[in-house]
Structure 1
Amino acid sequence: MYPVERSRIARIERLACIGETTSEIMHELNNQLTVLLGYATMLKKAQAESWKYADEMLMSCERCCGMAKGVLEFARSRRMERQRTDLRRVITKPVEIKTRLFESAAIKVRLTFPPECMEALVDEFQVQQVVFNILHNAFYELLKVKKRVLEVHGRREGGKAVIEFRDSGRGIRDEHVKRIFEPFFTTKPTGEGTGLGLSISRRIIEEHGGSLRVGSSNGRGATITLDLPLVEDPRLPLSTGVLNEAYGRFPAQKVAVKDGKRDGPGMGGDG
């Protein structure tokens, strides 16, 4: 496939992903704007507690701006720009954007990472495109079962960062596992999937020097494993981004998102 053609297909898939995520983000923006309206109304009546209301309004504004900026950056056509980045943050951001959607479907999300940085030389937005696609597929499969659990587990292993996405769905049939990375192959009904997501995702990860694998046992869920080479060279600048209240902070312990909420130290679920 020619580079121009690959770029066009990647953009089509990215736009499809944006379309799937837009309604979730609009719902969250509406929630934040409702908060702003409420505090603005109270601010008109209050005196002593005015500063507290103003702070809450500012936090809601910053969250709205952050979500809008994230969508715009994700949608923009851009060249690959690799930076030394902590993969814990890169993976966590899409998970937290999807939290509201998972919560609405009673899906428990458990997210764990080691306390030490997992630094890799990556294009952050391309890797997040891969994560969004994996999360979307997991959501679709989990809707078909009663026990709905998605575990995202990161670890360091032999110079690589290994990220596993394990769901409690029905699993993937053997004949489908063999074709899962073929372009245009999909098990979704007509109109609900392009069949390009995992194909493009694997290409993106391979271009970063990593691999993307699928393991499944019919009736026992599926596991998608993503690995990327770690960077240990201290001369390369680390792109840490902003780890604020919206995207969580990484203490020197495990980070977990359980039942749609972020846990503190330790993991609040099965290992």
Structure 2
Amino acid sequence: MSVRLFSSLKFRLLAGSLLLLVILFGTYSSYAVWYHERQLMAQMEANALSISEFLKSSTHYSMLLNRKEDVYRTMETIGRGELIAGIRVYNKRGLITFSTDSSERGRTLDLNSEACIRCHAPGTAPVLSLSDDRIRIETGPAGRILATMSSIRNEASCAGPECHAPPKGQPVVGVLDVRMTLSRVDASMAEVRTGMFRVAAILAACVLFLAWWSLSRIVLEPITALMEGTQQISTGNLEHRVLVAARDELGALAKSFNGMTDSIRTAQEENRRWSATLEQRVQEKSEELTAIHRRIVHVEKMTSLGRLSATVAHELNNPLSGILTYSKLLSRQLSRTNFASASPEDVLSELDIIIRETHRCGDIVKNLLLFSKKESGVFAYESLELIVGHAYLIVRHHLEMRDIRFVELKPHGNVELLCDAQQIQQALVALFVNAADAMADGGTLTVTYEADASGRRAVLSVSDTGIGIDSELLPRIFEPFYTTKEGGQGVGLGLAVVYGIIERHGGTISVDSSSGKGATFTMIFPAAEQTNADAPQSALHSTTKSLPTA
């Protein structure tokens, strides 16, 4: 993983350290140079004041004797000094009465100049101030000059007619201006400044090197090792170890990183072992689940068989008991000596009971066979209209006896099913009979069939106007041997047989009913095709097969 130079941690640490050192050493060097220059200037000012006082004291006697030549000669001698740039004397009107530069003698200074403005206010009369000595710095072609101005006071000892007025009228008779060159000071300060900054740069470089070396050993090397470790881990090398001997936070981080790598390697090895044995374990678990499923299915079969056996035994036991009872009664009657005493009507009634109960046993066995039949019959393309018509013919007499009107709602086109027509017909007959039993006082039995909007499914429904089914009984009506009929009229296998037939044809059946509002059984089958496809699927027409008789 490459890192740009300017965004790397090394560069940022180096740049930050360098900037900090430049600020620190630059500030220190500037202060040291400023302080050294201040000390030199203070010394030069003291020297200038000393020279000015020396001149006044050395020429004091000659001035008392009014020996100007001696005074000027003394000033010229001192003015030849190496550090003296010049000596001037002004009178009260600014006239230069003496100067070591002969070209300045006799020239009058402008009272607004830098030399005079300190004592003379602008626009006022040229009156000399009684202020203390003045020090100023001027800049000329030869460099900077330190000028010291000191007043020459009119003392009582020198007042006289031939010299000066009394002190009260003229307290200051002139100004002594001593000018000293600062070229040596400036050169010295330049050397000091250069040397100071050179030393500061060397010290900064040394400190920067030491700081960089320390940061590299303490911070950058451990971080680089950690980065290399992460790159190795990202490539899958879990054997890589981060070697950091430090005992600080980075050392603790390296130790934690190695621990994390060990944990990942252990987890990866465990996953590899699991992967190697996963197929075998899955097979073992699958075999265990298969064995458990077989046991569960066997238990469920045995439980269902037990419930079925108990129910069948109960259902068959009732008619067989009647058959046995009346058979014994007939046997006693026939074994009597006087057979003529037995009434023929009684004998025929008892024989009818035996016949009826025997038929009941046969119906139970037949329905059990139908319910347990798993294989499908012969499937062919059959017309729903023909299947419904055949089913109606079987129950027509039964419906007429109960004063029930049969209504058939069908599309203009023909709807065909790929089915076993006999089984579909049997299912419809069972639904018709149940509907007739629910309409003891007459009513309407409606059969509706059509293809849905997609043309891929056929919808067949059987509705009645009977007593209906309670909502709490609806979930159980398709269970074997469950019946809502009273007085032992039903076995409870009719709707279970219907459910099995519909399911074997790949269809579904549902019921919509409530107590006192009739019932509607809806069956949905995969449709084979619908002839006369141009006719609208929702255009149904009604056909009444049987009307109620008066």
Common fold: TM-score over 0.5: yes
Corresponding position of 2:451: 156
Q: Structure 1 254/125 Cα, relative in aligned 2: closer, same or farther at 3 Å?
A: same
Corresponding position of 1:226: 523
Structure 1 residue 255: deviation in Å?
5.5
Q: Structure 1 206/79 Cα, relative in aligned 2: closer, same or farther at 3 Å?
A: closer
Query: In structure 2, what residue type is equivalent to 1:187?
Result: T
Separation in structure 1 between the aligned mates of residue 436 and residue 429 of structure 2, nearest angstrom: 10
Q: 2:418–2:527: 8 Å Cα contact kept in structure 1?
A: yes
Query: In structure 2, what residue type is equivalent to 1:211?
Result: T
Structure 1 residue 98: deviation in Å?
1.4
Q: Structure 1 254/189 Cα, relative in aligned 2: closer, same or farther at 3 Å?
A: same
Structure 1 residue 233: deviation in Å?
10
Larger Rg: 2
Q: TM-score, normalised by structure 2?
A: 0.29
**Counterpart among 167, 173, 177 of residue 464 in structure 2:** 167
Separation in structure 1 between the aligned mates of residue 486 and residue 511 of structure 2, nearest angstrom: 21
Corresponding position of 1:70: none
2:502 paired with 1:205: yes
**Counterpart among 238, 256, 261 of residue 543 in structure 2:** 256
Separation in structure 2 between the aligned mates of residue 83 and residue 202 of structure 1, nearest angstrom: 20
Aligned partner of residue 232 in structure 1, secondary structure: strand
* Cα distance per residue 1:6-37 (max 9 Å; x no partner): xxxxxx9xxxxxxxxxxxxxxxxxxxxxxxxx
Separation in structure 2 between the aligned mates of residue 207 and residue 130 of structure 1, nearest angstrom: 12
* Cα distance per residue 1:188-237 (max 9 Å; x no partner): 13532111111121111111111111110221110011121101399xxx
Separation in structure 2 between the aligned mates of residue 259 and residue 91 of structure 1, nearest angstrom: 14
Structure 1 residue 258: deviation in Å?
4.1
Corresponding position of 2:383: 86
Query: In structure 2, what residue type is equivalent to 1:95?
Result: Y
Separation in structure 1 between the aligned mates of residue 489 and residue 395 of structure 2, nearest angstrom: 18
Separation in structure 2 between the aligned mates of residue 197 and residue 137 of structure 1, nearest angstrom: 8
Corresponding position of 2:481: 184
Separation in structure 1 between the aligned mates of residue 542 and residue 380 of structure 2, nearest angstrom: 23
Q: 2:448–2:462: 8 Å Cα contact kept in structure 1?
A: yes
* Cα distance per residue 1:96-129 (max 9 Å; x no partner): 2212221121111111211111111000101111
Q: How does 1:1-271 map to 2 (within 5 A)?
A: 80-143=377-440, 146=441, 148-157=443-452, 158=454, 159-232=456-529, 254=541, 256-260=543-547
Q: 1:99–1:260: 8 Å Cα contact kept in structure 2?
A: no
Q: 1:205–1:212: 8 Å Cα contact kept in structure 2?
A: yes
Query: In structure 2, what residue type is equivalent to 1:257?
Result: T
Corresponding position of 1:62: none
Separation in structure 1 between the aligned mates of residue 545 and residue 387 of structure 2, nearest angstrom: 18
Corresponding position of 2:121: none
Separation in structure 2 between the aligned mates of residue 95 and residue 233 of structure 1, nearest angstrom: 22
Separation in structure 2 between the aligned mates of residue 204 and residue 115 of structure 1, nearest angstrom: 27
Aligned partner of residue 476 in structure 2, secondary structure: coil
Query: In structure 2, what residue type is equivalent to 1:90?
Result: I
Separation in structure 1 between the aligned mates of residue 546 and residue 429 of structure 2, nearest angstrom: 19
Structure 1 residue 138: deviation in Å?
0.3
Q: Structure 1 114/103 Cα, relative in aligned 2: closer, same or farther at 3 Å?
A: same
Q: 2:411–2:450: 8 Å Cα contact kept in structure 1?
A: yes
Q: Structure 1 191/217 Cα, relative in aligned 2: closer, same or farther at 3 Å?
A: closer
Aligned partner of residue 113 in structure 1, secondary structure: strand
Query: In structure 2, what residue type is equivalent to 1:141?
Result: A
Separation in structure 2 between the aligned mates of residue 182 and residue 98 of structure 1, nearest angstrom: 24
RMSD (Å) for aligned C-alpha atoms: 3.2
Q: 1:160–1:229: 8 Å Cα contact kept in structure 2?
A: yes
Q: 1:108–1:148: 8 Å Cα contact kept in structure 2?
A: yes
Separation in structure 2 between the aligned mates of residue 142 and residue 208 of structure 1, nearest angstrom: 29
Larger % of helix: which? 2
Aligned partner of residue 93 in structure 1, secondary structure: helix
Structure 1 residue 253: deviation in Å?
7.8
Aligned partner of residue 231 in structure 1, secondary structure: strand
Separation in structure 2 between the aligned mates of residue 125 and residue 211 of structure 1, nearest angstrom: 18
Aligned partner of residue 230 in structure 1, secondary structure: strand
Separation in structure 2 between the aligned mates of residue 233 and residue 178 of structure 1, nearest angstrom: 33
Query: In structure 2, what residue type is equivalent to 1:89?
Result: L
Separation in structure 1 between the aligned mates of residue 517 and residue 486 of structure 2, nearest angstrom: 22
Bigger CA drift: 188-197 or 87-96? 188-197
Structure of higher RCO (CA pairs closer than 8 Å, 6+ residues apart)? 1
